[in-house]
Structure 1
């Protein structure tokens, strides 16, 4: 059984499905797609990417956790705070241990439960109220903290879980903005886009095309180009070429591999083309850089 860190070295966490097999996460109550987990992390855990397959509540019992969305906005969660995530969000989680370990509850609501709750609540959902895809909850009266102390995980009856989760849904509407809560529960998040800053940090992107990057980021080509230019102020084609050539220059300065191997290492199948664009950028050929070092 893997830890969260071990699993995410080669996988995005798809929640809640991936959590059942992780040893730093325990299942408190479970029926079908409705489940309550408790997460307990004792060491730093950085840049964990996850995708929400269902509406999810995260409540921090102790410690601090930072979530980063696809626009690279950060949400700081601390002990006693909570956030409701809509279905279909892609986020990154960072936890750096200072004095406390991270203990948190993760609650997932199934579709039938949400439908039942919304019928009773007689919701009035504003179209624009869930644009961010999440809602941070200010639990000033400790309603949520008190709720989690009442959970009796040794009671295995599915009806007990249903009652507790219906209670929790009503508490969320009381603690947070009711319209936003209802909107998040009743539809998928606005976007499933991934965070471009985090995605493009890896040298693995050197071998990908713009179409590959767009697909990997959860965007159409036009949406990818638009978001990229807004963030980086240049076209993705120029950015990718510059990233490849910068990495190539670093390899050449080390002087340990041939120009042909460098070209292949940064995604150029045509060595002549690599030499031409390299000279345009640096004013010298790859061989001149290599010999100088």
Structure 2
């Protein structure tokens, strides 16, 4: 699955990427999955539908009740329009200078390096609903020039800094800040029970598949797919030990059906899950 550079793709015709942009986004497909590499920060102002965005494998659910501030980085997303007319949103892209100016001018305490986060999900309130309505009314109007967009983005960032100072203070692209080894370990632990492919795990780590496999094996002494399966089966065995039924846990263990789970379990432990007992643990 190829990834899309955003907002670079939008700027292709102009051959220049603006420092900020307000982009209306519409999708009517019943379910869409894709990869995006954000080269700027993004605020998602969703009005209709639902998105699941995965950062290092951790799911972030965004819907019309909230807005999302997302750092530059690699993401996998799924969209669920929840009926017609599908996804309706406005995406705001901007470089780090805008954010740092807002934080520097409106948050008066020092940055805490121990709480960095690459995303902020906040509930909509009257101000945010009114802000979105105003942008909707302007976005196709010639009056919505670059200078007005700068003013509106600054207004929004100042509001978020004043309303959510700790969250904005701790916001940054933590994936890039980590070492390659830390990123691999974080992604591996977060995704034991998710059905992401090796190429998708490498994408979360900002690596090629070959580099990801080589570094992963150096850390865990196993190939990624084998290590992930072993961790799922060890967890499944612990659940069986505590009295769970195989039919209750195969989904929790990351398997799509009971048959594939039973086959993998027997291959690893020598017994079917239904015959597994504490003595075999």
Whole-Å separation in 2 of the counterparts to 1:218 and 1:120:
44
What's 1:213 paired with?
A: 209
SS of 2:166 mapped into structure 1 = helix
Alpha-carbon RMSD: 3.8
Q: How is 1:99-114 mapped onto 2 (pairs within 5 angstroms)? A: 99-100=83-84, 101-114=86-99
- 2:4 counterpart (5, 13, 17): 13
When structure 1 is superposed on structure 2, of 163-172 and 13-22 the one drifting more is 13-22
- Deviation at 1:81? 1.4
Alignment of 1:131-150 (within 5 A): 131=117, 133-139=118-124, 141-150=125-134
CA distance in 1, matches of 2:214, 2:38: 14
Q: Which residue of 2 aligns with 1:269?
A: none
Report the Cα offset of residue 221 of structure 1. Answer: 5.8
- 1:182 maps to 169
Question: Is the contact made by 1:63 and 1:78 (CA closer than 8 Å) also made in structure 2?
Answer: yes
**What pairs with 1:1-293 in structure 2 (closer than 5 Å)?**
11-20=2-11, 32-70=18-56, 72-88=57-73, 90-100=74-84, 101-124=86-109, 125-131=111-117, 133-139=118-124, 141-151=125-135, 152-153=138-139, 154-175=142-163, 177-184=164-171, 187-191=172-176, 197-200=195-198, 213=209, 215=211, 222=218, 228=224, 231-233=228-230
Whether the 8 Å contact between 1:80 and 1:142 is mirrored in structure 2 is: no
- Measure, in 1, the Cα distance between the counterparts of 2:81 and 2:113: 39
Structure 1, residues 28-50: CA drift from partner, whole Å, max 9, x if none? xx982211111100113432111
Deviation at 1:93, TM superposition (A): 1.1
Q: Unpaired runs of 5+ in structure 2? A: 232-267, 269-281
Q: CA 1:217–1:13 in structure 2 vs 1: closer, same or farther (change >3 Å)?
A: farther
Shift of the alpha carbon at 1:109? 1.8
Shift of 1:212: 5.8
Give the distance between the partners of 1:52 and 1:97, measured in 2 at CA. 22
Residues 1:74 and 1:183: Cα distance change in structure 2 (over 3 Å): same
Relative distance call for 1:52 and 1:218 in structure 2 (3 A) is farther
Aligned to 2:235: none
Task: Tell me if structure 1 keeps the 8 A contact 2:20–2:93.
Answer: yes
TM-score (normalised: structure 2): 0.60
Contact 1:15–1:51 under 8 Å retained in 2: yes
* Structure 1 spans left out of the alignment, 5+ residues: 1-8, 23-29, 206-210, 235-280, 282-293
